[in-house]
Amino acid sequence: MTTNALAYAELRRMLEQRTAIVLSEEKEYFIDLRMGPLLSRYKVDNLAELLPTLRKDRRAADEAMDAMTINETSFFRDAKPFDVLREVIVPTVFALRGDRPLRVWSAASSTGQEAYSVAMTLLEHPIVRRQGWTYEIVGTDVASSVVERAKAGIYNGAEVRRGLPGALLTRYFEPHDGGTWRAGAQLRAGVRFQVGNLIQDRPPVTDLDLVLLRNVLIYFSEDMRRRVLESVHRAMAPHGVLMLGAGETPDYAADLFERIRLGDMWVYQPRSRR
Ligand SMILES: C[S@@+](CC[C@H](N)C(=O)[O-])C[C@H]1O[C@@H](n2cnc3c(N)ncnc32)[C@H](O)[C@@H]1O
């Protein structure tokens, strides 16, 4: 193998060890694209020259791993999960939790749009309003840069135009610098974000009523997917609902979760622990 091929292989190995993301060999163009800014910042010409720094400097390694994650997301992404939340889960499933705040985990929350979309769905819901339900929504992601963005809750025009209805934009966001919008106090209350690695850290909350684990397991090997789902299973309330990304089917965890049709989509409920 050439020095460069070895360097790509080492970066892929680092990424898999740290995040579970498996990148295939033909993804070298993707590595070049994502690592370009870091090469300039560390004033080196290629990945092989950067690797010694990544091996000894934890911060540089974190930055590299951040740069390699795919953070694609949007408000109300795929629409259906939020329709099902509003029309089915709030009126039926959530009533089963007893007298405590609702607990929701946006796992792999990226820049926060998913968690804020859940919050807006709850804030707008007549049952939630009438009964004064409170909630705790926690977003976690392995990439600290996106967690910081989620905490700030500041989105540019293109981001708010992707999926966020105008009425919700004006109700829950305030105009901010340079044409951006910032999530207002009401929306931010009850939503928090922290760095969390699905393959190393425990879920941030237990007895969860709803877990959104969308568009992240697709990057993992089947062993790692299984490991993550075992940990999610342990953290869910018996009546809790797990939502995966459109088209993600966890056949490899059929003993842990029952596949259930709610409204227009398949969701997963934990089978009872023995
Ligand atoms: C494509 S985004 C999905 C965001 C959101 N769930 C959605 O569906 O819109 C995938 C996210 O998973 C995060 N991620 C990747 N590996 C992770 C890990 N091991 N632990 C936690 N988050 C991870 C990435 O940083 C990225 O923000």
Digit-coded pLDDT (tens) for 45-84: 999 999 999 999 999 999 999 999 999 999 999 999 999 9
* Whole-number pLDDT of residue 24: 86
Which mutation among 12, 34, 69, 137 tests ligand 1's pocket best, with the greatest number of atoms within 8 A of CB?
Answer: 69
Is residue 38 within 8 A of residue 64, CB to CB? The reply is yes
114 CB near ligand 1 (under 6 Å): yes
pLDDT recorded at residue 4: 83
> Which string of DSSP letters, residue by residue, matches 216-230?
SGGGB-HHHHHHHHH
Listed in order, the ranges of the chain carrying CATH 1.10.155 are 3-68
What's the pLDDT at 1? Answer: 66
Best mutation site among 74, 141, 201 for ligand 1 pocket (most ligand atoms within 8 Å of CB): 141
C-alpha 99 to ligand 1 mean position (Å): 32
Query: What are the residue ranges in the chain where pLDDT is below 70?
Result: 1, 273-274
| Any ligand 1 atom below 6 A from CB of 68 | no
Where along the chain do the CATH 3.40.50.150 domains lie? 80-270
156-182 tens-digit pLDDT: 999 999 999 999 999 999 999 999 999
| Residue 189 CB neighbour total at 10 angstroms | 12
Atom of ligand 1 nearest to the CA of 199: 19
DSSP class of residue 125 equals -
Instruction: In whole angstroms, give the CA distance from residue 228 to residue 122.
Output: 27
How far is Cα 120 from Cα 187, in angstroms, rounded to an integer?
Answer: 7
CB-based contacts of 45, cutoff 8 Å, min separation 6: 39
Which of 111, 216, 229 gets mutated to test ligand 1 (max ligand atoms within 8 A of its CB)? 216
DSSP 272: P
User: In the beta sheet, which residues pair with residue 270?
Assistant: 257
Fold of 3-68: Chemotaxis Receptor Methyltransferase Cher; domain 1 (1.10.155)
Backbone dihedral region of 259: left (phi > 0), alpha (psi from -120 to 50 degrees) or beta? beta
Give me ligand 1 centre to Cα 1, in Å: 31
Q: Determine the CATH number of domain 80-270.
A: 3.40.50.150
Ligand 1 site, residue 69, Cβ cutoff 6 A: yes
On the 0-12 / 13-18 / 19+ scale of CB atoms within 10 A, 274 is exposed
